[in-house]
Copies of this chain bind each other. A is one copy, B any other.
Amino acid sequence: MHSKTHRTFAIKNMKRSLGHIVYGKDTEALAKFAKALGHPTRIAILKHLENQSCCFTGDLVDVFPLAQSTISQHLKELKNAGLIQGELKPPKIKYCINHENWTMAKTLFQEFFD
């Protein structure tokens, strides 16, 4: 019944995390965005995208002293968080800010900081 990845616990120790805690939707969403922003390379990539409006993976490989696979990995995480989107522009892939989610993130941070 329990997920194999989590320990069981004695009843008298209840209150301990059973798997994981569920937070409000906004809390989860904000944490997800923040996590994606929690690496300087990804911040830098996004700043670059804001200037260029769009760009290709190859451009970034030239800009940052990182392996192509590493850049690709960061782009994947930004995409998973919904902050960017990739458009097939053969033979390249054009990455742009996802403005809808960008606005959502902006609003969430705004509200959070009052």
CB-based nearest B residue for A38:
B35
**What B residues does A59 contact at CB under 8 A?**
none
Q: Are B41 and A21 closer than 8 Å at their CB atoms? A: yes
From residue A73, how far is it (CB to closest CB) to chain B in Å? 13
Interface size class of chain A, counting residues whose CB lies under 8 Å from the partner chain: 35 or more
**Number of copies of this kind of chain in the complex:** 2
Instruction: Give the contacting residue for A31; candidates B23, B39, B65, B105; CB below 8 A.
Output: B39
Q: Are B21 and A43 closer than 8 Å at their CB atoms? A: no
Inter-chain CA distance A30–B40, complex, in Å, is 8
Is there a chain B Cβ closer than 8 Å to A98's Cβ? no
Binding site for B on A (CB under 8 A): 15-18, 21, 23, 27-28, 30-31, 34-44, 46-47, 50, 64-67, 102, 105-106, 109-110, 112-114
Query: What are some 10 contacts across the A-B interface (CB < 8 A)?
Result: A16-B65, A16-B66, A16-B67, A17-B65, A18-B65, A27-B43, A28-B40, A34-B34, A38-B38, A106-B113
